[in-house]
Amino acid sequence: MRYHTSMKKNPNLHSEPLTLLGGISAETFLKDYWHKKPLLIRGAMPSFEGFLTPNELAGLACEEDVQSRLISTVKKEWKLEQGPFAEKRFAKLPERDWTLLVQSVNHHMQEANDLLQQFHFIPHARLDDLMVSYAPDGGGVGPHFDSYDVFLLQGCGQRIWHISEQEDLTLVSGAPLRILKHFRAEQTFTLSAGDMLYLPPQVAHWGIAVGDCMTYSIGFRAPSAQEIAGEFLNYLQEHRTLPGMYADPDLALQLHPAEIGDGMVKQVSSILNGLKWSEEDVADFLGQYLTEPKSHLVFDTPKNISLPAFEKRMKSQGIQLSFKSQLLSAANCFYLNGEKVVVDDSSASLLMTLANTRVLLPEYISAQQALTEAFVAETHAWYLAGCIMFLQ
Ligand code: SIN
Ligand code: CO
């Protein structure tokens, strides 16, 4: 299905100064800082204190389908424990020098989704997740670098960030987590609630809690070329059938029967040269790959509801993507949770709005003259599969 160019984003929206970016526009941020250099933003979200208490974060870390880690230093040695944790684990922790990190909090909370929406000037395809950490005094994950662009937003408390654009990224060998062997801080900042530090990939950093502190990391992962190519080869395997088969009617006697002959190498090369792809294939691959839910995710399915009842409620209440869902568009097609979506052309603007904002407000749905039967049937199926929900 297709959408029209007039529905693409209005670029002027991105030239307004944003408090979130310290008074510069999204356009300037992308030009001067994104993927290039760090930016410290005091008062990026002036009234932000976070939306999780340490206890609520610990509660999430006890759940089966939540990825969490507990990192501590015991006699200067780094220790890593993977969740899910039993509640009693938190009763036995020392006063200081540990941190609890919970990945993909946006899969579980509306507030986390609302926070991520503020970063909509970065394409959704680049977003990885919102990670939230809690640490008592002295806690942190040690000096390291990430392959992420990350916005480190301070929730409650304070954290000292040491950062360095050093070239030496040698890691301590044998440590259970990636710790830089020769970290030399070049700049140090103390962040309080609502302050934010943007770091591009590979910038070394070390955040240390000053008293109880919570940090919200909005991460944009940059996959390696190796990972992209590997995944694309898997995609090709599923989407290509090459005709013919290896044939050697002119087989000549070989001096060494154990040798793989030149003729065989040449013929296989020519078979492989038949493996072609276009940018359309790459867009289709990206649509599927980037919306594919991580393997540990479980979608909560609602109680059954008939199609007419669903339609009535959708019109009166509106719908939104489930927290764990990802809807992207590529080359004028849409992809939801790893699958290409086929709906009629007249539903394209609805789907584009749902993809961009993650919600379809009831007034927006009612204003559509063309709410087709096919679209209602499709969204009903998504609802039953737990991919969308009624607006909360
Ligand atoms: C943290 O929140 O403690 C760690 C975030 C990071 O360093 O990437
Ligand atoms: Co980091």
With a cut of 90, say whether residue 345 has pLDDT above it. Answer: no
Q: What is the pLDDT of residue 74?
A: 86
With a cut of 70, say whether residue 244 has pLDDT above it. Answer: yes
With a cut of 80, say whether residue 370 has pLDDT above it. Answer: no
Considering the chain, what percentage of its residues have pLDDT values greater than 70?
96
Pick the CATH number of 5-220 from 3.40.50.300, 3.40.640.10, 2.60.120.650, 3.40.50.1000: 2.60.120.650
Neighbours of ion ligand 2 (CB under 5 A): 146
- CA 328 to ligand 2 centroid distance, Å: 27
Mutational pocket test of ligand 1: of 57, 195, 217, 218, the residue with most ligand atoms within 8 Å of the beta carbon: 217
Higher pLDDT, 316 or 343: 316
With a cut of 90, say whether residue 369 has pLDDT above it. Answer: no
- Give mean pLDDT, residues 356-373: 87
Residue 57: count other Cβ atoms within 10 Å of its Cβ: 21
Q: Which atom of ligand 1 is nearest to the CA of 99?
A: 3
Look up tokens 């008074």; give the residue: 23
Q: Give CATH 2.60.120.650 domain extents, the chain.
A: 5-220
Mutational pocket test of ligand 1: of 104, 131, 203, the residue with most ligand atoms within 8 Å of the beta carbon: 131
In the chain, what are the helix, strand and coil shares in percent, each to the nearest 5?
Answer: 35, 25, 45
Q: Which atom of ligand 1 is nearest to the CA of 199?
A: 8
Rg (CA), the chain: 25
CA-to-CA separations, 209 to 47, 96, 235, 301, in angstroms, rounded: 20, 9, 43, 39
Q: Which atom of ligand 1 is nearest to the CA of 133?
A: 2
Indicate which residue's Cα is closest to atom 4 of ligand 1. 141
- CA 145 to ligand 2 centroid distance, Å: 6
Q: Which atom of ligand 1 is nearest to the CA of 206?
A: 7
Torsion of CA 31, 35, 37, 40, to 10 degrees: 90
- Give mean pLDDT, residues 163-176: 96
Q: What is the pLDDT of residues 257-311, one digit of tens each?
A: 999 999 999 999 999 999 999 999 999 999 999 999 998 888 999 999 999 999 9
For 377-386, b/e burial (b = at least 16 CB within 10 A) is ebbbebbbeb
- Give mean pLDDT, residues 234-247: 94
With a cut of 50, say whether residue 117 has pLDDT above it. Answer: yes
With a cut of 70, say whether residue 132 has pLDDT above it. Answer: yes
Ligand 1 interacting residues, C-beta cut-off 6 A? 99, 133, 140-141, 146, 150, 205, 207, 215, 217
How long a stretch of residues is the chain?
Answer: 392
Q: What topology is assigned to 307-390 in CATH?
A: Malonyl-Coenzyme A Acyl Carrier Protein; domain 2 (3.40.366)
Q: What is the pLDDT of residue 133?
A: 98
Distance CA 224, CA 186 (A): 27
With a cut of 60, say whether residue 36 has pLDDT above it. Answer: yes
What tokens were used for 378? 């499709």
Instruction: Give the mean pLDDT of the chain.
Output: 94
The runs of H, that is alpha helices, within 23-70 are 26-32, 54-61
Cβ proximity of 38 and 199 under 8 Å: yes
- Give mean pLDDT, residues 347-372: 89
Residue 59: count other Cβ atoms within 10 Å of its Cβ: 15
What tokens were used for 324? 């764990």
Indicate which residue's Cα is closest to atom 3 of ligand 1. 140
Q: Which atom of ligand 1 is nearest to the CA of 135?
A: 3
Look up tokens 């089966």; give the residue: 64
Shortest-distance ligand to the CA of residue 140 = 1
